[in-house]
Amino acid sequence: MIRFLAVSLAAGAILSACAAPTTTFGPDGKPLPKIYRIAPGDTAEIEFRMLDSINALRRAAGLAPVELDPLLNAAAATHSRDMSIQNRPWHFGSDGSSPLERARRVGFAGDVLGENISESYETELQTLAAWMEQPDTRAVIMDPKARKIGFAWFQEPNGKIWWTLVTGTPITGS
């Protein structure tokens, strides 16, 4: 009897592992988004995954690669946090600043070409895919003049992520 019980419990445990994952649904009947949590130690991995993906897209289009610029990263990080504070995705800072002004404040001396922003619960690659689907945000990523990018985010405790991507060119001759 004990042997039967032990085998039954083991079989139940094995079968429960095979059960389909549960999905949580919202009041509208649609699945709730899965929260993509970003740990503090994930920064470099996420930045380089985005950089590699952008450069693969640019390479496929015959464009020169871009490289991460720490100053543009700082401008992007500032804006991501500021959008969260304002609770709206838009290109102006709470102080009225533009992408160009934010880049200048952190010391970027090149030309700022464009800025993409997003408010989502999606991963960086899902966000990139969404940007590539829209002509205006795709143009920022695929700008032939771009040589530098800044990419950053701010994640709220509820999981919402505010993404910012800034493109630019270095000063001529640098």
- If one counts every other C-beta atom within 10 angstroms of the C-beta of residue 100, the result is 16
Average pLDDT over residues 123-141: 97
140 closest CA partner among 72, 46, 44? 72
**Residue 19 reports pLDDT greater than 80:** no
Sequence-separated (6 or more) residues with CB below 8 Å from residue 147: 64, 66, 67, 168, 169, 170
Could you read off the pLDDT of 85-109 as tens digits, one per residue?
998 898 988 899 999 999 999 999 9
Average pLDDT over residues 58-84: 97
What confidence score (pLDDT) does residue 9 get? 44
Taking the C-alpha atoms of residue 146 and residue 63, their distance in angstroms, rounded to an integer, is 9
**Which percentage of the chain shows pLDDT scores above 90?**
68
Q: pLDDT higher for 3 or 38?
A: 38
Q: How confident is the model at residue 79 (pLDDT cuts 50, 70, 90)?
A: very high
The three-class DSSP label of residue 131 is helix
138 closest CA partner among 72, 60, 74? 60
85 closest CA partner among 119, 112, 116? 119
Alpha helices in 28-149 (DSSP H): 43-60, 70-86, 99-105, 124-133, 135-141
Contact (Cβ atoms closer than 8 angstroms) between residue 38 and residue 46: yes
